[in-house]
Structure formats: C-alpha cells, structure tokens
Structure 1
Amino acid sequence: MTTADTSPVGRARERGVQTLSLDSPATRNALSSALVTRLAASLAECAEDTDVRAVVLTHTGGTFCAGADLRDPPDPDAFVALLRQIVELPKPVVARVAGHVRAGGLGLLAACDITAAATGSTFAFTEVRIGVAPAVISLPLLPRTDPRALARYYLTGERFDASEAARTGLLTEHGDDVDAVLAPVLEGLRRSAPQGLAETKRLLTARVLETFDRDAADLTALSARLFSTAQAREGMTAFLERRDPAWVL
C-alpha cells in the first residue's frame, strides 16, 4: 500500500514493513528542518502502529543524505532527538542505501539497527573540511564502529566505499543488488514476534543509549559553538560557492 505524501518523506508499506524515503532529491536529501521534523513524525507513527513490524529508511535520487542543509539546517537538539528516536524505536529500523552518504547522513545510518548498501555507494565524514566536527553523529557512531577507522575518516574527510564501510561496522551488508541483500533480512523480521524484536533491540541498544545520556548535551553544545565560528562560516561559504576554503594548502 502506498500513501500519497507531498512532504520530504515518502511512505509505502508491504507486509508489515513500513518504508520511509528521504524525498528531497533536489537538495540530495540534505537534513533540513522540514525533513527532520517530518521524519520524526513518521517514525512516531510507526512506533504506535501495531501493523508495522519493521521500518526501512531509504531515499530517492542518487544520494541517501548529503548531511546538514546549510541553507535550512535543523535545530541541533531536534537532530539529536531524531537519532535517539531511531535507536529507541521499539521496532527494527533498517537502512537501505543505493547512493552516497555524507556527514549527518552517516549518523542516520549508525542509528539504524541493520544497514545495507549497494556496492557503488560512497561515504565521507566531510565536517572537518568545512571547519566543524562530526559531533552529534558521534553519539551512535562511536559505540558501533571501529575507532581507528573513525580516526582516519573523521580527520581526513576521505571518501570510502561500501566494502570499507562494512569492515568498519558502519554497514551490516553490501552487494550489487541492495534489495536482494535485504530480502532475507526483511523476511526474518516478518517472521519474528513483535515482543521479541522490541526486547532484543533494547538489549542491543543499551550501550548506545548510555552514550546519549552521558554526552548528548556536551556534543550538541560543541556543534552549536563550532558552527558559529569564523572558520565554519568560511568553510560553508566555500562549499556553497564550490571553491576551496582559505586554509587549503
């Protein structure tokens, strides 16, 4: 069943699996205030709907998510709340990626329970290149991914491929046909009891939620401070003007 929706989040359902699609391809599904608000509302509806067994988070266009919308960024507290909502949702959230993921989009992936991508997908933590840091997305990333890999990719902003993303723990699976990769996963979720899924997810996410409880306020404050600096203004301006920022050697 498909539901008509003019919002930046598309919706469709098949056999108990609710698909939510980031649907702002003109901005490469950047995290605008409108998209974050609508995605949070859609997830809340899924949490309350007893007919929803699992949620698939995917996208339209060639980019899963380009990170924060620099022209209409979400409130940092709202984005942290969205990440926590994905982690706490009493139903599994499965990310389906058939394109590219940057910056804040990697936080969405890390918050999901199971993540799969097409082989041609690419990933990058680009925050450092505009003068900020991957602060709030570290809440789900640090407990779930390889720390040495994060050190490299956080500090350099390099692109890496799906194979490397799987090696570091960012992805569960990857393959040429992401839907074929996910088919047995979704079938398994459909065969699992709602209570069993909810309680098992609670066990799996306990460490991640401890990180939110301990660090969310400090990392949100750090993000807000960095975005207000002169270097960040130069980095964002350079990005929008498609030029190198002043510090590039």
Structure 2
Amino acid sequence: MTGQSAAQGAGEGSAGSGAGLVRSAHERGITTLTLDSPENRNALSARLVGELADALARCAQDPRVRAVVLTHSGTTFSAGADLKRPANPYTFVALMRQIVELPKPVVARVAGRVRAGGIGLVGACDMAVADRASDFAFTEVRIGVAPAVISLTVLPRLDPRAASRYYLTGEEFDASAAQAAGLLTAVAEDVDEVLGGLLDGLRRASPHGLAEAKKLLTADVLEAFDRHAEDLVQRSASYFIRPEAREGVAAFLEHRDPAWVR
C-alpha cells in the first residue's frame, strides 16, 4: 500500500468508526487513528484535540490494541493550532503527555506537511515515519510567538544545532533533514512499506514488555512535563496577547506579510 491507503486499509476486515474529526480503525492488534479535518489542514482545534484524546484513552484500555498509528487524511498531517477555534493550551499539553504516557507504542505516519503544533504531536510519538515528499516547519516565530509547549516533546528529539536553525528561522525543511535532525525514525518513498516492518516488530513484542520499555524511554520527558509544563503554558499565553502576535496572526489570516517583514 502507498500514500493514504495504509490509513484507509487499516480498517479492512475489522470494525472502524468514522464520525467526527478523528477516524479509528483496528486490524491485527494495531489501531489507526486518522486526523480527518482536511478542510482546515487538520488544525488543532478544541474539538479535534478532544476527540483524539478520547480515542487514545480507548486505545489505552482496549486489550486488543498492541500499538497505535497516528496518521492523517489530506495533504497535511497537522497545520498546528487552529487560530480561529484553538484548543486550550492545557488541553493540548495534556494530549501530548497522554501520547507519551500511553502504555502502548504510538507511531506517527506522515505523508504531507507538518507545521508548529503538529510537530509537537510527531515528537510525542515513540516512532515517526514519513514519505520523502513530506515537509516540516516551526512557523511560530513568523506570527510573533515561539514554539513553547511543543518544546516538551520536540527538543528531546532534535539535534541542538538543528533546533536552533529551525526554531529561529521558521524555514521549511524536508523529511531527510527531519530524519537527520532526529525528528523522524525513517523516511522512504513508500512510507507504508517501512511502517509495515515496524508494526510487525511491535506485534512480536509482548504487551508488558512494550509498556515497560516505553517507561524507560519516556521517563526524562515526563519529568520535563512535571517541571516545565506550567511555565511553558504561561509563556505561550503571554505571547499571544502581545501586539506582535496580534499583527502576526492577522497577517496570517489575511495572507500577507506581517508589518515587521522588510
């Protein structure tokens, strides 16, 4: 299977649900959760974040689920925060922590663009695979803010020099650069071929073994949530009330350069 067919095919021969902004399908121990709001590029609205949190909670409690694949419909995994209908920052931080704490591996499957908060979701996942046409950008600085809360899941993944470059410039970088920086596990022409190999490995692992191994891998990240999440939420909120951010958001919504661009 190629492209979006893995997300669609994951439900073949098994029960799936399609109502709402997050679709769920299950096959052979793997539940695929598909962000399904392509009309706004799977922006992280309050509704989408809430539905994804609910779906992950069901996965955590379902003994049939060995691992979770997080993917998307449309050409964008997620464009980041929905600037018209934003999720509460505490809710989004809780969602990222939920992915990190889930006692089952979560694998991001990317075939398209990933921006800002969407990269926070990718960073929270235990593994992440993308096709070569995918691209990424920390666009926050270009609207007058900074990638605050997503630093909890992203900075532990990124090479420090790469983090400095992409955080400060907001420039787009391709999947190969994302892999070199530490954000991605693998990049391939056929993302589903690589994904299939990873999922076969997870199916061969015991549920308890997976849960305990994940605890070892995520301990430092969860400590960082405990130490820094509140401060980062407060910082993020303070950014958006500044005049620069108001101008940046307005410029983004009006499809123009902000006033500070020369």
Normalised by the shorter chain, which TM-score bucket? Answer: over 0.9
2: CA distance, partners of 1:113 / 1:4: 24
* 1:73 corresponds to: 86
Give structure 1 regions of 4+ aligned residues with deviation exceeding 4 angstroms: none
1: CA distance, partners of 2:168 / 2:17: 42
Matches within 5 A, 1:68-217: 68-217=81-230
66, 75, 90: which is aligned to 1:62?
75
CA RMSD of aligned residues (A): 0.6
Q: 1:75 corresponds to which letter in structure 2? A: N
Task: Give the TM-score taking structure 1 as reference length.
Answer: 0.99
Aligned sequence identity (%): 65
The answer to whether structure 1 residue 230 and structure 2 residue 234 are counterparts is no
**Post-superposition CA distance 1:143-189 (Å, at most 9, x none):** 22111101000000000000000001100000011001111100000
49, 58, 67: which is aligned to 2:62?
49
1: CA distance, partners of 2:15 / 2:113: 25
2: CA distance, partners of 1:2 / 1:48: 17
**Post-superposition CA distance 1:198-239 (Å, at most 9, x none):** 000000001111111111000000001101111111101100
- Note the residue ranges of structure 1 that are not aligned, 5 or more in a row: none
SS in 2 for 1:174: strand
2: CA distance, partners of 1:246 / 1:23: 34
28, 35, 38: which is aligned to 1:15?
28
Count of matched residue positions in the alignment of Structure 1 and Structure 2: 249
| Aligned-residue offset at 1:126 | 0.1
SS in 2 for 1:244: coil
Q: 2:224 corresponds to which letter in structure 1? A: T
- Note the residue ranges of structure 2 that are not aligned, 5 or more in a row: 1-13
6, 25, 33: which is aligned to 2:46?
33
